[in-house]
A and B are shown apart, each in its own frame.
Chain A
Amino acid sequence: MKRQLAALGILMLLVFALPVYAGVPLDTVQKSVNKVLDVLRDPKLKADSAKEMKKEKLRIIYKSMFDEIEFSKRTLAKNWSKLNAAQQKEFVDLFEQILEKSYIDKILSYTNEKIEFYKENMNSETQAEIQTKIVTSSKEIPIFYRVIKKDNVWKVYDVVVENVSLVQNYRTQFNDILTKNTPEQLLEILRKKVKDQ
Chain B
Amino acid sequence: MKRFSCLVLIAALLVIGCAHSSNRTSSAQQTDNISSTPQEAKATVNTKQTQAMQAEASPPAENKAKSDDEYLDDIKDEEVITIADPLEPFNRAMYVFNDKLYFWLLKPVAQGYSKVVPEPARISVKNFFTNLGFPIRFISFVLQADFSGAATEVGRFGINTIWGIGGLMDPAAENKINLPKQDTDFGLTLGYYGVGHGFYIVWPILGPSSPRDSVDIIGEYFLYPVSYINPWYIWLSVKSLDEVNATSLRIGDYESLQDAAIDPYVAVRDAYIQYRLKKIKGNDVKPEAAKTARESNPAKD
Contact = CB atoms under 8 A, between A and B. Distances in A.
B6 interface: yes
Interface string B1-45: 110011011001100100110001101111110100000100110
A2 B274 CA distance: 58
A174 B267 CA distance: 10
Contacts of A176: 263, 266
Contact of A173 (B31, B34, B75, B267): B267
B28 A73 contact: no
Nearest to B271: A164
A32 interface: no
B260 A138 contact: no
Interface stretch (A16-24, A41-49, A55-63): A16-24
A102 B275 contact: no
A15 B50 CA distance: 32
Contacts of B66: 126
Contacts of B146: none
B119 A137 contact: yes
A29 to B, nearest CB: 12
Contacts of A120: 24-25, 27-28
A14 B259 CA distance: 49
A36 B2 CA distance: 53
B288 interface: no
A105 to B, nearest CB: 8
Interface residues of A, number: 58
Contact of B249 (A14, A74, A138, A163): A138
Interface string A114-158: 001111111111110101000001110000000000000000000
A10 interface: yes
A164 B266 contact: no
Contacts of A121: 24-25, 28, 44, 47, 51
Interface stretch (B77-85, B95-103, B151-159, B160-168): B77-85
A10 B20 CA distance: 15
Contacts of A127: 74
B126 to A, nearest CB: 7
B256 to A, nearest CB: 6
A6 interface: yes
B271 A169 contact: yes
Contacts of B75: 74, 77, 171
Contact of B32 (A9, A118, A139, A173): A118
A53 interface: no
B47 to A, nearest CB: 4
Interface of A: 2-3, 5-6, 9-10, 13-14, 17, 20-23, 26, 70, 73-74, 77-78, 98-99, 102-103, 106, 116-127, 129, 131, 137-139, 162-165, 168-174, 176-177, 189-190, 193, 197
6 contacts: A2-B5, A77-B72, A119-B28, A119-B29, A168-B274, A176-B263
